[in-house]
Amino acid sequence: MEIIENVYQLDCASHGHVFFIRSDEGILIDTGMPGLVEKILAELEALDGAVQTIKKILLTHHDIDHIGNAKALQDATQAEVWAPQEDVPYIMGEKNRPGIKRILQTISRPPKPHISGCYLVNQNFGEVRVIHAPGHTPGHTIFQYRNVVFIGDLFQEIKGRLDLLPRFFIWDQEEAKRSISIIKELQYDWICPSHGMPIKRGTVTENFLKNF
Ligand SMILES: [Zn+2]
């Protein structure tokens, strides 16, 4: 679905969304659950052959449903893959994920992409602004493009409501809550969570954010 002009939430990745920002230097935000590469490429191809334009793949954090197709998409597009520095050891399998994620990683170990770079403070990729928002994971990062904020797993949308992710998926709850308050400083119209549907700024967002 198109969220605003040239910004898409791909329909094929419903658990751990993949977002595509169309431009001369196209950008993907996150890569979905493992095994979706063919569907992702087909959906991008249907958007005027968008596969060839993708130059950057930006990962919000190390969780499997975000990095699942990073290597396969990098191989298909030759795009650079960028990630938060603190999350790279988990992506590369050098550190075990904490808690329940340690069990999940024994079931599914996505192939490792080549990490082209780690986000710098106040970095931009074209019009995409990098915003450090740790807590869900040590390096969790969100992005803003024009009036859209891609919040990764900072919080989620469920049936029109906003909520935190289950506590056992969160690395540091207090830090995550502090990061949610960052949203209040931003100018935006749309929030795009990785889990749930995009939500327009309004009563629901204001009522949720005032708790942080
Ligand atoms: Zn996550």
Ion ligand 1 neighbours (CB, 5 A) are: 63, 153
Q: What's the confidence (pLDDT) of residue 50?
A: 85
Q: At what angle do helices 70-77 and 37-46 cross, to 10 degrees?
A: 50
Tell me, in angstroms, the distance from the centre of ligand 1 to residue 136's CA: 7
* Count of CB atoms situated within 10 Å of the CB of 12: 15
The per-residue pLDDT for range 126-171, each reduced to its tens digit, is 999 999 999 999 999 999 999 999 999 999 999 999 999 998 889 9
Tell me, in angstroms, the distance from the centre of ligand 1 to residue 61's CA: 7
Q: What is the pTM of this model?
A: 0.95
79 with 43: CB under 8 angstroms?
no
The per-residue pLDDT for range 81-128, each reduced to its tens digit, is 999 999 999 999 888 877 767 766 666 678 999 999 999 998 999 999
Tell me, in angstroms, the distance from the centre of ligand 1 to residue 194's CA: 8
Tell me, in angstroms, the distance from the centre of ligand 1 to residue 153's CA: 5
Tell me, in angstroms, the distance from the centre of ligand 1 to residue 125's CA: 22
Full set of structural domains in the chain with CATH: 2-209 (3.60.15.10)
Q: What's the confidence (pLDDT) of residue 156?
A: 97
With tokens 């063919």, the residue in question is: 38
Lowest mean pLDDT among 64-68, 72-76, 109-113, 145-149: 109-113
Structure tokens at 131: 């915003």
Tell me, in angstroms, the distance from the centre of ligand 1 to residue 152's CA: 7
User: Could you please report the per-residue DSSP string of 128-173?
Assistant: EEEEE--SSSTT-EEEEETTEEEEETSSEEETTEEEPPPGGG-S-H
Look at residue 20 and tell me whether its pLDDT is greater than 90. Answer: yes
